[in-house]
């Protein structure tokens, strides 16, 4: 990937987050990059949502490419420690790779816009949905994390929800597992907006979700830590669409 092993030449990469957001606020519709066509329809049809691991950029690209080949509907770039310049460059590379898939950036509205992503996913410690809408207008889908019905209802302006943990996971050890029924309750409360179950989901427990009608899931380790990520995606998607 050009630039990952040498000096960065990314416009806006050295800006502080606030500076970038102010600059984007009045020009989100004309930001470089091309989103996938009909993102709202694609979101409604989506079943398998793959989140990239906190890994080296080359590994992230490998996982994303495998997700595309395997048939994932959505890929989210999530990296908590990568410098902003590299994160933007990586996001632009993934946008090119994911030209016919929904591409979401975690946390950063400005990087989502500058890379041409289809959306941004906001956690409880990120900016509000209203602030994100002010910056991005209708340009981005906005997803939020919600682990209770009340939290989901408070975030009713979001386009979709990531809800869990469905099962115990080493990534969110401090969060109470809400289980398949908890996710089903959230999905019922915000219907018809899509709710993607997340947290400890793999091929061995996915049936516990599909058996009660949950057919949208987010996965990280089930794909990224698989010996064959592409085949893992194929198997998961087949289970979701059976």
Listed in sequence order, the residues at least 6 apart from 216 whose beta carbon sits closer than 8 Å to its beta carbon are 46, 47, 49, 194, 195, 196, 197, 240
Q: Which CATH number does the domain housing residue 135 bear?
A: 3.20.20.70
Residue 166 lies in a domain: yes
Distance, in Å, from the CA atom of 169 to the CA atom of 241, rounded to the nearest integer, reads: 24
Residue 110 lies in a domain: yes
Residue 207 lies in a domain: yes
pLDDT on residue 195: 99
Over residues 104-129, mean pLDDT: 96
Please tell me what DSSP assigns to residue 23: H
Over residues 159-178, mean pLDDT: 90
pLDDT on residue 14: 36
pLDDT tens string 26-74:
444 444 455 667 999 999 999 999 999 999 999 999 999 999 999 999 9
**Minimal CA–CA distance to 121: which of 97, 99, 91?**
91
Cis peptide before 96 (omega within 30 of 0): no
Residue 31 lies in a domain: no
Distance, in Å, from the CA atom of 164 to the CA atom of 173, rounded to the nearest integer, reads: 12
Encoded tokens for 141:
């889908």
Residue 1 lies in a domain: no
Domain that residue 218 falls in: 17-24+38-241
Split at pLDDT 50, 70, 90, the class of 22 is very low
Distance, in Å, from the CA atom of 71 to the CA atom of 101, rounded to the nearest integer, reads: 9
Q: Give the global pTM.
A: 0.86
* pLDDT mean across residues, the chain: 89
> Does residue 6 or residue 38 have the better pLDDT?
38
Helix residue ranges per DSSP H, the chain: 17-25, 39-45, 57-70, 84-97, 109-115, 129-136, 149-154, 179-190, 206-210, 221-224, 229-241
pLDDT tens string 189-239:
999 999 999 999 999 999 999 999 999 999 999 999 999 999 999 999 999
DSSP H or E stretch at residue 10: none
Residue 91 lies in a domain: yes
Count structural domains, the chain: 1
Cis peptide before 192 (omega within 30 of 0): yes
> Does residue 87 or residue 171 have the better pLDDT?
87
Residue 8 lies in a domain: no
Residue 3: pLDDT over 70? no
In this structure, what are the phi and psi dihedrals at residue 48, rounded to the nearest 5 degrees?
A: -115, 125
Residue 32 lies in a domain: no
Over residues 108-126, mean pLDDT: 96
- Taking residue 80's Cβ as centre, other Cβ atoms within 10 Å add up to 8
Range of lowest pLDDT (102-106, 147-151, 168-172, 223-227): 168-172
- Taking residue 78's Cβ as centre, other Cβ atoms within 10 Å add up to 17
Q: At what angle do helices 57-70 and 84-97 cross, to 10 degrees?
A: 20
């Amino acid at each position: 990937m050009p630039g990952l092993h040498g000096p960065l030449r990314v416009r806006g990469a050295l800006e502080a987050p606030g500076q970038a957001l102010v600059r984007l606020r009045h020009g989100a519709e004309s930001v470089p990059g091309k989103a996938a066509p009909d993102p709202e329809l694609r979101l409604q049809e989506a079943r398998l949502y793959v989140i990239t691991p906190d890994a080296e950029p080359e590994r992230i690209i490998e996982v994303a490419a495998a997700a595309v080949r395997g048939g994932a509907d959505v890929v989210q770039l999530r990296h908590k420690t990568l410098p902003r310049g590299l994160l933007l460059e990586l996001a632009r590379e993934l946008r090119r790779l994911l030209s016919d898939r929904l591409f979401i950036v975690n946390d950063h509205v400005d990087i989502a816009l500058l890379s041409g992503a289809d959306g941004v996913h906001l956690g409880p410690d990120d900016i509000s949905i209203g602030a994100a809408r002010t910056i991005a207008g209708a340009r981005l889908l906005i997803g939020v994390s919600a682990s209770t019905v009340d939290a989901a209802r408070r975030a009713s302006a979001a386009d979709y929800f990531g809800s869990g943990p469905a099962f115990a996971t080493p990534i969110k050890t401090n969060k109470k597992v809400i289980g398949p029924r908890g996710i089903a309750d959230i999905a019922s409360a915000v219907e018809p907006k899509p709710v993607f179950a997340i947290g400890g989901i793999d091929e061995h427990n996915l049936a516990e979700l599909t058996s009660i009608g949950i057919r949208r899931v987010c996965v990280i380790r089930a794909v990224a830590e698989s010996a064959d990520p592409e085949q893992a995606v194929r198997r998961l998607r087949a289970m979701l669409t059976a």
